[in-house]
Structure formats: structure tokens, C-alpha cells
Structure 1
Amino acid sequence: MSPPAAGFPRLLALGDAAFTVEFGGGIAPEIHARVLGFAAALADCAIPGVIERVPTFRSVTVHFDPDLIDPPRLAADLLALAQAGHEAAASGRRWVLPVCFDDALAPDLPDVAAHCGLAREAVIERLTATEFSVYMLGFLPGFAYLGGLPAALEMPRLATPRTRVPAGSLAIAGRMAAIYPWDSPGGWRLVGRTGVGLFDAGNATRPALLAAGDRVRFRAVASLAEAAEITETVPELP
């Protein structure tokens, strides 16, 4: 187990009904492993009065009902649990999502290739050869931040965001990748598109297809019609 960053974990109060437990100051696999390990351990504790756990890149926010639990006692329990140093073992689901990299669906792919000094096909090969980790959901319902983008494909965001990014667009920025689940504004580089739905409001148990701790790979297909179905479902990790 890797040692925690200096000064972490630490606990911050968010008003009178939530605490945030921080495990580091950046985005890194070892920090995220502690985030997921703590979230899983907290779920196993089933503390009465804890309403929700929200994991992020480097922290977990714990919402609670102050009428059902003593906040100072909860704060002490959360910090003790965090200091126990739980790290998540391989968990979650693994997905292979079809993506079409046609020029009309990947308007920034030529610029990415030129910036990185790679052929267009080499960019696609790197994207499809990488297993990404779902770090967190945010920005939009079902929008998963995917860590693991190869350093060779690192790109800044657009200087001027688009006013409309089509739903299903595969995008990259910095060392992250993501798929836009809805039509929305966005400043990430668009390099492909999938037709797989990433959010279903009618699904009460799992409205978002992806969840923190999942793994994602992309498979190149020839058309957007082929990208509308998940043709390969990988079993859940042991």
C-alpha cells in the first residue's frame, strides 16, 4: 500500500449536513484507490443517518441527517476510517464501447494528430488500446471522467468552447477522456462518437451506465449505426 500524501487524509465540514474527506491534492490512481476503498468501507459500516456518499477524483463527500446522528462523533468516525488506509481492490464493471472515428464525427482528430506528431490512425490505435478508469461522474448526469489517457495524446481544452457538443461525443482534454451523454456546450477535443446511451432516467437503480470504479475500453466501428449497440460486454471484475 502506498503511503498517503502529507497532510492527508483530512476532513472538511460542508455546512451542517455534510463532510468531505480528502485523500490528496491531485489526480492519481493511488489517491483514487483510497477514495474508492474508503467509500466501500463506509458503505459496509451502514452508519444510521448517513444519506449519501459522493466520490470524486480525490475525496468523498458524506451527506448525513444531523437529526439522526451526532456530527462531531461522525466526523471522528469518518477520519478514523479514512486513516485506516483502505484501498479499493479491482471492482466495478468493465465495458467495451463502440466508437465511430469518421471525420464528420471527430472534428478535432486531425488537430490532435498534428499536435501530437502522430498519424490519425495512430491516435485511434492508442485510444482503443487503452483501458480507462472511471474516476467520477459530474458536469452532466452520466458524464464520466475517464483517467488513463496516454501522455502522447495530452491536449489542452479548446480556447473557445463549442456552444453545442452532440450527445455521444468522445472527447479528450489534459490527461482525461469523457463521453458527453447529452447535447451540451463543451470545450474538450472531439475525437469520435458512440451511439450508446449513457443515462436512463427511467432506471431507478442505475440511471448512469458508468460508475466510479468501472473500466472502459473503446472499439472502433465503421459507422455510427454500428456504434449504437454494446457488442461486447465484459463480466464484472472479480
Structure 2
Amino acid sequence: MRLRRCGPDAVLVEVESLGEVAAARAALASAGLPGLVELVPAARTVLVSFQPGSVGLRQVQEVLDGADLSSPPAVASTEVVLPVVYEGLDLELVAETAGLSVEETVALHSSAIYTVAFCGFAPGFAYLTGLPEPLCQPRLETPRTRVPVGSVGVAGEFTGIYPRASPGGWRLVARLADDAAALFDATSSPAALLSPGDQVRFEVVS
């Protein structure tokens, strides 16, 4: 573990795995640090920001030294069920790569329970862990210049949903159903539907 200062009122915690990210975030969130403004997890880091001049910044190291980062604690989470239609442009490619039929691929992807590890890339884009091993596949060799909003894709150990149309190289397996809730709405509070720690399930609709 390494701590790096980020300006006068923040510190970046660097760890070795997603599990350690979750454990560090949970330990800091429950520590009652004075002046804590935000915890921002990523694949191998947690950004910890404070109100200007807060003494909480000096307590981060002590909290983490006393935490067991090898065992993320169980925390209360929100379950979000997202209705999806499995008609992604790369569904057959993902099935072939996994050595499965399309039907088996759909069943495998939709039966898993996912956890939001962190958010990034675009507002509302959540990186979901829990992807079954056969579906852990590389990104496309040539990214698309435009991925439709609501597309569900896989890349590496993650699955995710594009909250808006954008370039992207994930292998697309499905799309959100037309009546699915928006992943990001700047007029709502919170603006993002998914937050780190949330549990996500995909419900197959036709």
C-alpha cells in the first residue's frame, strides 16, 4: 500500500487489487474521519478528499494501518435489477470465444450477481465485477467509433453498460430494455443510478 498526496486536501491510496480497494474504502468510510468529502474508488486506488484544512487527512494512514485489507467487510448494499435484451452485436463472438452456445452465454451472463467496483470512463458508467470466467474476454481489436446508449458489454474481468452513446471497444452482448431506468440523469439526486458497492442483476426480457 502506498499513499500519495493529491494537492493540499486529498490523498491517493494505492493498493494491489480490487478486493483491497473495497476493503480500504470500507475502512475509511466507517472511520468517522473529520472533514471527509468523498471517497472515489478505481481499479487499484482510492482517492480520499477532505474539506480544506481538515485534520482528517492526517488520520488516513492510521486508519489503513489498522485495517485488514485482505478481507473486505460485508456492507449493506442496494440491489438494482436491470431489464436487458440479449441482442448485442458481439454476442455470437463472445459465445464462440467462450466455447458456449448463444443460449448458454445468455444464461451465464444473466444468472450472475454483479457488484459495482467503481465508476469512471463516462458519467454513470459502472465497472461491474462478478463476470463468469468464460466471459472474461479481451476488448475488440478495433474499437467502435459509436456504441449505442444502453449497450451492455464485457471486457477483461468486467461487465458494464454504456450510459450514453460514445466510442468504445467492449464486446457487446445486450442492451437495456426500453423501459429501463436511466443510468445517469444530471437533474436527479444522485445523478448516477449505480454506485460502488451496489449489487446488480440482469433480467432477461424479449
TM-score (norm 1): 0.78
The corresponding residue for 1:168 is 150
Match of 1:210 among 183, 194, 197: 194
Larger Rg: 1
Deviation at 1:200, TM superposition (A): 1.3
Distance of aligned partners of 1:200 and 1:88 in 2 relative to their CA distance in 1, 3 Å threshold: farther
Distance 2:28 2:205 in 1: 36
User: Are 2:28 and 2:60, in contact at CA under 8 Å, matched by a contact in 1?
Assistant: no
Looking at structure 1, the residues matched to 199 and 108 of structure 2 have their Cα atoms a distance apart, in angstroms, of: 16
Aligned length: 200
Partner Cα separation in structure 2 for residue 115 and residue 84 of structure 1: 44
- Give the deviation of 1:85 after TM superposition: 1.0
Structure 2: unaligned runs, 5 residues or longer: none
Runs of 4+ residues deviating >3 angstroms: none
Shift of 1:46: 4.6
Once superposed, what is the RMSD of the aligned Cα atoms?
Answer: 1.7
- Corresponding residue SS for 1:193: strand
Report the more deviating stretch, 86-95 or 157-166. 86-95
Gaps of 5+ in 1: 1-7, 223-238
Match of 1:41 among 30, 40, 51: 30
Distance between the aligned counterparts of 1:16 and 1:132, measured in 2? 36
**More displaced 10-residue stretch of structure 1: 85-94 or 209-218:** 85-94
C-alpha distance after superposition, 1:3-57 (max 9, x if no partner): xxxxx2x3111233320123x2233xx3243133124224xx1513x33221223
Equivalent position of 1:74 in the other structure = 57
CA contact (8 A) 1:108 1:191 kept: yes
- How far off its partner does 1:59 sit? 2.6
Match of 1:226 in 2: none
State how far apart, in whole Å, the 1-side matches of 2:17 and 2:33 are.
29
CA contact (8 A) 2:28 2:63 kept: no
